Amino acid sequence: MKNLHDAFLRSFLAASEGAIAKAVTQMLVRKVEAKGVVLTKKQQARVLAGVRAKRIDASLLPNTTRKIRIAFTKRDIATVERMDHRALALLPVLVNEESATIAAESLPQLHASWPERARFEDQRRSDFEQHLRGWWQGSLDCLGMMLTITNELTTRLANEGRELNGTSALRSALLRLQVRACQLSYEIQTLLGSGLADAAYARWRTLHEVAITALYIRERGETMAERYLAHQIVEAIAAAESVNRHRRRLKTRSVGIASVRRLHTRKAALLQRFGPNYEEPYGWAAENSIEKIRSFAVIESRVDMEHWRPYYKAASLRVHASPHALFNRFGSYK
């Protein structure tokens, strides 16, 4: 990748310096000709080569007995600076042009050398993970054992659910949340084993949300579970309308009008049943038709888990583009 960067940098510098060299050469030619000395195209080419090489002397000019004095004014210097700014302004265009050229030239080389580089990267990753296990093997083993126990229990509960006819909304919601929690836990285990502690912490944030949601629903029973599961209609409408709004720039297919209408019909029935605030992001969590839940922190506090908020906020910093997270990383050496 360093070779690609170097190739692009060389191309940009060549284009930028080439434009400036031409401008300086044109100035020199005009100034010399203003003194009565006319340069042929061949001589002008020699001057341009000298400017690019940053080596300008009398040998570049035609033989003459006259002494020629050339001076660059502040205005001349300003002109050159403007050329430099124009070269920078053309950088986006140059990036597109040079990227295509460099990619076409470099991709075959990368393909040819990649097997060897891939083995190097795999070995480096393996060495790092082995070093990591030397520090954290005991803790990672305990986590793995706990996940195995939880996964076996979840599998048994899922199998029992298949044997039951007419599974309740409460059982369905809690089981689905439990399955997702298991998946998230395995993701965290994988990330920790690879040394990606910040990413693991970010996934814990989602695991925390799943756990709090499960506690909240379990304490409030069947109706709350129904509200929670049905809220996917509200989220599906928001997602479909977002895709349709940006489909041209995304160059993707739109969600059909008929599909969106069907979703709106189902949503209208839900609003009729649960109240107008149901369409809010946390509308499912309201305990009556007029209540408005404004944040996840409200749900957290109602299951007496608000003491986890400092850790949750710290994990959130690693999910979002927070400046704090740039300077406080678990996976970075001080």
Domain extents for the chain?
2-89, 138-327
Cβ atoms within 10 Å of 204's Cβ, excluding its own: 20
Cβ atoms within 10 Å of 153's Cβ, excluding its own: 12
Structure-token pair, residue 93: 């265009």
**C-alpha 115 chain-centroid distance:** 27
Cβ atoms within 10 Å of 78's Cβ, excluding its own: 10
pTM of the model: 0.71
Q: What is the spatial distance between Cα 33 and Cα 27, in angstroms, rounded to a whole number?
A: 10
Task: Please report the sign of the dihedral spanned by the C-alpha atoms of residue 160, residue 162, residue 167, residue 172.
Answer: positive
Interhelix angle for 91-163 vs 74-89, to 10°?
30
Task: Please report the sign of the dihedral spanned by the C-alpha atoms of residue 30, residue 33, residue 34, residue 35.
Answer: positive
Residue 268's contacts (CB-CB under 8 Å, 6 or more residues apart) are none
Residue 12's contacts (CB-CB under 8 Å, 6 or more residues apart) are 91, 94, 98
Residue showing tokens 């510098």: 13
pLDDT in tens, the chain (334 residues): 555 566 656 665 666 666 677 777 788 888 877 877 787 888 788 877 877 777 766 665 666 556 667 777 888 778 777 776 766 666 676 667 667 777 777 788 888 888 998 999 999 999 999 999 999 999 999 999 999 999 999 999 888 866 555 679 999 999 999 999 999 999 999 999 999 999 999 999 999 999 999 999 999 999 999 999 999 999 999 999 999 999 999 999 999 999 999 999 999 999 999 999 999 999 999 999 889 999 999 999 999 999 999 999 999 988 888 888 888 888 765 5
